[in-house]
């Protein structure tokens, strides 16, 4: 249900140099390397990064081959950790791997004689969400937080600002009135920086090259009427894996909707499409976005739940959260008429057995309308309207 009256809602994002995101990118880089050779690879790859070290572990069954140290080092290099000055060096860090085959007990539940009978890779519930607050049908706080994080990385990599380093965080708080965003109330930016840079140097660079170019065109930002917090400890030189241990799957809220709507608890990175934690959540987003794009509701949340080894979901709920004119029962019925939610058909419809996942591991899996991100398409909106008898 929509909240009435005036309230504030906040979401955060992190840059690709944040240690948890370094781990996510390593996991998805391994996945992409294997899917490029073997689309049917079963991959569950976790990563840990800390001072001078990267560790990968998990269960992988594939006909492909990945040179793990090379994949790990190249991923770290692309992020920008390529010298001791950064606190983490792709050339000299240790790389440790401990990878086993997928459990045969799980494999027999997923594999079937008929591909369409493929069972879910695990039990659990997945959520999707969409709303009309932004052009990509994402909640405004997480959308603009991601825009700031992407801009931080852009100005660093392009040399526009030479004092920024890879690690960073952003946070945006919106004021809402009767469920609609009306203004940005406060912004938080923390960026790792060169030891020679002063607090004032960092603050001025962030305002000039990050905040103003991103937020002023939004229509929600008035610098005179917005609290701005930049590197509030006063110093952020030690960062990345040297400053904090990073783990795959520890940023699941910023990966999705920034706290808007529910979350099933499953992480995405390092998992192939047979894992419904990933493919089910992507399908949930696809459904929710098409419902909103079809004009069936201004906001939509989808829950899909599975049982390991069973193809059909054990429950499906498509809800307008009280924002639409159509009963949730009718929305759910329309979706089930139009879209087959068995794992095989999810993967087929969204074309998920491709090496597209490293690109998804930073700045949100949703709301980025890239050609590879098929779950952002709104190509069944008309079919849903017909099935809903609108």
Annotation: binding site:
18, 20, 46, 59, 102, 167-169, 235-236, 244, 250-251, 267, 271, 275
Burial of 227 by CB count in 10 Å (0-12 exposed, 13-18 middle, 19+ buried)? exposed
* pLDDT of 359 above 90: yes
Shared domain for 228 and 285, answered yes or no, is: no
Shared domain for 189 and 272, answered yes or no, is: no
| pLDDT of res. 105 | 59
Task: Tell me the C-alpha distance between 120 and 276, whole Å.
Answer: 6
Annotation: binding site for K(+):
46
| pLDDT of res. 116 | 78
> Does 376 reside within a domain?
yes
Annotation: binding site for L-methionine:
59, 102, 244, 275
* pLDDT of 47 above 60: yes
| pLDDT of res. 297 | 96
* pLDDT of 150 above 80: yes
3-state secondary structure 79-139: HCCEEHHHCEECCCCEEEEEEECCCHHHHHHHCCCCHHHCCECCCEEEEEEEECCCCCCCC
Structural domain count, the chain: 3
* pLDDT of 13 above 90: yes
Confidence band, pLDDT 50/70/90 cuts, at residue 349: very high
Shared domain for 377 and 274, answered yes or no, is: yes
Annotation: binding site for ATP:
18, 167-169, 235-236, 244, 250-251, 267, 271
Bigger pLDDT: 108 vs 34: 34
> Does 116 reside within a domain?
no
Percent share of the chain, pLDDT over 70: 96
Shared domain for 253 and 364, answered yes or no, is: yes
pTM as predicted: 0.95
Task: At 264, give phi and psi (nearest 5°).
Answer: -80, -15
Render pLDDT for 268-297 as a digit per residue (tens, 0 to 9).
999 999 999 999 999 999 999 999 999 999
Considering Cα of 136, then 142, then 147, then 153, what sign does the dihedral take?
Answer: negative
The tokens describing 225, both together, are 């009427």
List strands edge to edge, sheet with 124-131. 124-131, 299-306, 315-319
Confidence band, pLDDT 50/70/90 cuts, at residue 183: very high
For the chain, give the mean pLDDT: 94
Annotation: binding site for Mg(2+):
20
Shared domain for 361 and 280, answered yes or no, is: yes
Whether 1 and 321 have beta carbons less than 8 Å apart is answered as: yes
Shared domain for 11 and 25, answered yes or no, is: no
Whether 80 and 191 have beta carbons less than 8 Å apart is answered as: no
The tokens describing 261, both together, are 């709507």
Domain that holds residue 364: 124-132+249-388
Mean pLDDT of 351-365: 98
Shared domain for 261 and 358, answered yes or no, is: yes
> Does 369 reside within a domain?
yes
Mean pLDDT of 149-169: 97
> Does 112 reside within a domain?
no
- Residue 31 belongs to domain with CATH number: 3.30.300.10
């Amino acid at each position: 249900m929509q909240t009435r009256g005036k309230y504030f809602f906040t979401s955060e994002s992190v840059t690709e140099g944040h240690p948890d995101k370094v781990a996510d990118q390593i996991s998805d880089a391994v996945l992409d390397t294997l899917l490029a050779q073997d689309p049917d690879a079963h991959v569950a790859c976790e990563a840990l990064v800390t001072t001078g070290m990267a560790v990968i572990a998990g269960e992988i069954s594939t006909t492909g081959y990945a040179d793990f140290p090379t994949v790990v080092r190249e991923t770290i290099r692309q992020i920008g950790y390529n010298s001791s000055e950064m606190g983490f060096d792709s050339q000299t860090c240790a790389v440790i791997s401990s990878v086993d085959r997928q459990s045969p007990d799980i494999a027999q539940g997923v594999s079937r004689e008929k591909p369409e009978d493929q069972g879910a890779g695990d039990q659990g519930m997945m959520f999707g969400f969409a709303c009309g607050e932004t052009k990509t049908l994402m909640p405004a706080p997480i959308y603009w937080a991601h825009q700031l994080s992407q801009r931080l990385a852009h100005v660093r990599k392009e040399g526009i600002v030479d004092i920024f380093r890879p690690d960073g965080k952003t946070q945006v708080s919106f004021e809402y009135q009767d469920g609609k965003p009306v203004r940005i109330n406060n912004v938080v930016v923390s960026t790792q920086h060169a030891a020679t840079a002063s607090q004032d140097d960092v603050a001025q660079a962030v305002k000039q090259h990050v905040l103003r170019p991103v937020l002023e065109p939004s229509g929600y930002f008035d610098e005179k009427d917005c609290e701005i917090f930049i590197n509030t400890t006063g110093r952020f030189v030690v960062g990345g894996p040297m400053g904090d241990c990073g783990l795959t799957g520890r940023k699941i809220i910023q990966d999705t909707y920034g706290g808007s709507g529910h979350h099933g608890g499953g992480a995405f990175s390092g998992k192939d499409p047979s894992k419904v934690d990933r493919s089910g959540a992507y399908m949930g987003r696809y459904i929710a976005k098409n419902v909103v794009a079809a004009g069936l509701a201004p906001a939509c949340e989808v829950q899909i739940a599975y049982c390991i080894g069973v193809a059909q979901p054990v429950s499906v709920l498509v809800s307008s959260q009280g924002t639409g004119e159509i009963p949730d029962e009718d929305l759910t019925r329309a979706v089930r008429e139009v879209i087959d939610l068995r794992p095989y058909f999810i993967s087929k419809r969204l074309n998920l057995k491709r090496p597209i996942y490293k690109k998804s591991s930073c700045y949100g899996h949703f709301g980025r309308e890239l050609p590879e991100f098929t779950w952002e398409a709104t190509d069944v909106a008309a079919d849903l309207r017909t099935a809903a008898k609108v």
